[in-house]
Structures are given as C-alpha cells and as structure tokens.
Amino acid sequence: MAVRILVVFAGCLFLTQGIAQAEPRNIEICAACHGVDGSGVGYDYVPIIAGTPASHLEEALFAYKDGARNCVGVPVMCDTITPLSDDEIVEMAEYYAAMPRLSSKEEFDPQLAAVGKIIHDDLCAQCHVLPTDKNVDSALGIPLHGQKSSYLRLSLGAYMTGDRETLVPIMDDKLRELDQDKIDALLHYYASWDPQS
C-alpha cells in the first residue's frame, strides 16, 4: 500500500513539474496584460489571445518587435516585446495557442448579431474562421469570434487609418465596404460566439 501511494505521489509530482516547465520563461511579461490564461485581465482593449493559432501570434509579435506593426494608442506592447528573444516569442505563442479559446462574455443584441453574421459571411469568413474550425491553424486571418469588441474596434480603426498594414490587398477592399453600422453589427456577432454552444 505504501509503495502504491508513493508511486501515485511521484506521478503527481512529475505531472506538476511538467505543467510548471510548460509555462514559458518570463510569462509575467505577457501575463501582466493578457493574463496567464490569455483572457486580457479585464482590460477592454487588450485582446483575448488564448486559443489563437501560434503562427498568428508569432507573426504579430515579430511584427511588433521588428517595427513592422505600430503600437497604436498603446505603446506598451512594442516596449514589452522588444527585449524578448526569438525563442521566447515562439515559446509564448505556443503556450497561449495551446489554451482553449475563450469568449468575451459581452452582452450583445441578437438582431444585430444576426445582421453581423451575414456581413461576416459575405466579407470576412473567407479568411477568418471559427476558433473551433479544423482549419483555424492554416486560415489567413486570426479567429475573431469571441474577441473583445473594444479591441476589434481599435484594430479595425488602425487598419482603416493605415496605422496597421493589412496582410493581403483583398482586406483593404473588404474594409472599404464597412461603415459604422456594419462594424457595430459585426461586433455584436463576434460577441455572440459561445465556445460552449
């Protein structure tokens, strides 16, 4: 009996050490704003990054580090990423990508969400798939469903003013088709996404 308990204890200790080792070095750098769980720690403008494919997180982080992406309105992101090594960036991206995708849990208008779904299917769905889609890792754009409305509004504004460059020319065309009413409907649609449904 004592041997069996010792084996179980050793197994638990091994698992605990494995979890601790899986947490990236310098996790506090990202967790200060995004949280250890990738939820954004209550800041409206900080995106949910849990469950975002690693390739997309790496692309964004390297763009911040290299200066290819401006830190619009929130310079702390560029200042934070600069000292990270390439290996640390990859490690952080893989850590957050491995987590389940969260919902913003924001209130939404079902009628506006229904209109937003039509707009998404028409303009956005080609590149931005559901976080649970089997092709999410290879999709051209990040998953937008469940993302915080304030962050999406900030990002869309940055693309529209040219403060953030689009990855592909087709996105410029799609953005030109959006007005404030369409953006509002889209945000209600993305807020309506529930990972439990």
Please report the pLDDT score of residue 8 as a whole number.
Answer: 35
Distance CA 197, CA 193 (A): 8
Please report the pLDDT score of residue 47 as a whole number.
Answer: 93
Contacts 24+ apart (CB under 8 A), 174-181: 174/123, 174/124, 177/123, 178/119, 178/123
Average pLDDT for 4-19: 36
Q: What pLDDT band is residue 125 in, cutting at 50, 70 and 90?
A: very high
The first and second tokens of residue 179, run together, are 């007005």
Q: Kindly report, residue by residue over 16-27, the tens digit of the pLDDT.
A: 333 333 788 888
Amino acid at 1: M
Q: Kindly report, residue by residue over 128-140, the tens digit of the pLDDT.
A: 999 999 999 999 9
Instruction: Kindly report the pTM of this predicted structure.
Output: 0.83
Please report the pLDDT score of residue 74 as a whole number.
Answer: 65
Q: What pLDDT band is residue 168 in, cutting at 50, 70 and 90?
A: confident
Q: What pLDDT band is residue 145 in, cutting at 50, 70 and 90?
A: very high
